[in-house]
């Protein structure tokens, strides 16, 4: 009964962890430009796999190394990296959809003339942000940042003292994280499908601005720079 309860807790903790604010904001910047369900699920799945690959390895290192304080301190520094990624992704999202004029010359029968075209910034960026490879990479970085729910599972696993039980809990936790993010991707896609093109663009900008603000907040609390006190 104790192991069964531990397994259920690990799964629920995984779902909860998927809905952390920084996770949702970062993945939303990928998902806000997808149009198909399989594309959204692929991005969420790859993010979840990348996240739990590194998070699982770190958990096992701590499990086998009682003197793991240096490892924990090192992981705290990855919050700064996550904050920087969030700020960068937010800025990229804000550039998508901005129209810019582009000129190029043609030569017909010895007569030169110019053609003016309007391009929208972020065409190549848009493709990259929809890539499941990019979401997998971000998931790996996310897995190296602090993970309160997984640490709770680890502490309980240390109490039980069985590596087999811990591995099972890691699998269930990872499954919960992946399913939680895939559920979010379905909800976001279904919601965005009822919006017009202009509202989708506004939604994209909203995710971008929110990601920048939260990234600055994480950067502030992890560096002690007190950015928001200077801004407001």
pTM of the predicted model as reported, rounded to 2 decimal places: 0.74
Q: Tell me the pLDDT tens digit for each residue of 3-50.
A: 778 788 889 988 988 898 888 888 888 887 777 888 888 989 999 899
CB–CB of 129/29 below 8 Å? yes
Alpha-carbon gap, residue 31 to 149, rounded angstroms: 24
Beta strands in 25-144 (DSSP E): 99-108, 111-120
Please give the pLDDT value at position 146: 60
Alpha-carbon gap, residue 86 to 81, rounded angstroms: 9
Beta strands in 6-110 (DSSP E): 99-108
Q: What single-letter DSSP state applies at residue 119?
A: E
**18: number of Cβ within 10 Å:** 24
Domain ranges of the chain: 2-96+131-231
Q: Tell me the pLDDT tens digit for each residue of 65-88.
A: 656 666 666 666 778 888 888 888
Q: Please provide the distance, in angstroms rounded to a whole number, between the alpha carbons at the two ends of the chain.
A: 52
């Amino acid at each position: 009964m104790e192991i069964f309860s531990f397994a259920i807790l690990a799964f629920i903790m995984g779902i909860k962890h998927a809905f952390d604010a920084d996770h949702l904001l970062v993945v939303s910047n990928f998902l806000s430009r997808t149009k198909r369900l399989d594309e959204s699920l692929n991005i969420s799945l790859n993010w979840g796999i990348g996240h739990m690959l590194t998070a699982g390895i770190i958990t096992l290192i701590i499990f086998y190394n009682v003197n793991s304080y240096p490892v924990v301190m090192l992981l705290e520094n990855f919050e700064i990296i996550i904050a920087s990624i969030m700020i960068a992704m937010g800025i990229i999202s804000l550039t998508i959809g901005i129209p810019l004029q582009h000129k190029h010359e043609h030569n017909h029968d010895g007569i030169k003339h110019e053609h003016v075209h309007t391009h929208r910034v972020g065409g190549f960026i848009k493709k990259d942000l929809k890539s499941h490879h990019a979401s997998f990479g971000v998931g790996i970085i996310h897995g190296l940042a602090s993970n309160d729910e997984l640490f709770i599972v680890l502490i309980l696993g240390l109490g039980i003292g069985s590596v087999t039980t811990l591995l099972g809990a890691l699998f269930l936790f990872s499954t919960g994280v992946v399913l939680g993010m895939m559920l979010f991707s379905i909800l976001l896609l279904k919601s965005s499908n009822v919006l017009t093109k202009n509202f989708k663009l506004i939604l994209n900008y909203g995710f971008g601005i929110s990601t920048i603000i939260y990234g600055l907040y994480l950067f502030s609390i992890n560096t002690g720079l007190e950015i928001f006190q200077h801004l407001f």
